[in-house]
Amino acid sequence: MNLLANPSFEEGYYHWKNIPELAVPNKWDFWCAEQNTPRVERQDDPWLRPETVIWDKPHAPAEEAALFWLDGTYILKIFKGWGPTWAKLSQTVNLPAGRYVFTAPVYSDAVADYSKEGKKILAPDPISQEVRLTAGDADTGWIAPKFGQYTHHQLAFDAPGAEGVTVAVEVRGRWGLRNNGFFLDALSLDPAGSAPTPTPPVQPSPKSHGPAPEPSGPPAWETLDDQQRWEVVRELARRAGLVS
């Protein structure tokens, strides 16, 4: 039993603060970081306001329709090219006392660049994009998802029953990737025991670059910057036992 209003964004939208570039699903609230919002660790440039659209499936290319839509006709797309971005979607729900599970499927489209063939090169650093769920005082902390796929993030929490509980999903990309993109669809809030099975997330390691992928061929290698190439070389050296 889904207790959210407009969970799959089928019931229209409005422009947050009358900003044309920020379309937000009806019955949901929104927030985003501005240039004066404090930066996070290893962030180079100030936050930039994202763009958001309620995207309808009939106008999407067939290959993208198969990737991004989980339920119904509409999804929420949050994105920003060449800039760090951070956004939050929230809703306050009156709940009887009890235990609940908030589920937010998020597709993390962390695109560092494109190959000469037009294929996406995903960001090599696992904390290039992160997702966090909150519900009242409960908090998942920032989670580094797998890129290029949906992750069904979940948060279990106890509702006191005396007042409304605000559930929220936050997405952020701390660096100016070619595209910081996030797709959201089919959110749910269920009594414990009836929630969908989550996709296991990858936990972030903020003080580590993490393993970098081996270059897939000359086109991909040519499009990497110096930092990304250094990460690739270091990982290959680690695998060869030359460094710890």
Each residue of 135-181: pLDDT tens digit?
999 999 999 999 999 999 999 999 998 789 999 999 999 999 999 99
Same domain, 181 and 224: no
Instruction: Count the Cβ atoms, other than its own, within 10 Å of residue 231.
Output: 18
Q: Are 189 and 234 contained in the same domain? A: no
The answer to whether residues 74 and 113 belong to one domain is yes
Residue 211 is predicted with a pLDDT of 37
pTM here is 0.80
Q: Is residue 6 part of a domain?
A: no
What are the tens digits of pLDDT across the range 32-62? 999 999 999 999 999 999 999 999 999 999 9
| Residue 7 located in a structural domain | no
Backbone dihedral region of 73: left (phi > 0), alpha (psi from -120 to 50 degrees) or beta?
alpha
Q: What is the pLDDT of residue 208?
A: 38
Same domain, 230 and 186: no
The CA distance from 170 to 179, in Å, is 17
Residue 33 belongs to domain spanning: 13-204
Based on the structure, what is the number of domains in the chain? 2
Residue 3 in any domain: the answer is no
Rg (CA), the chain: 19
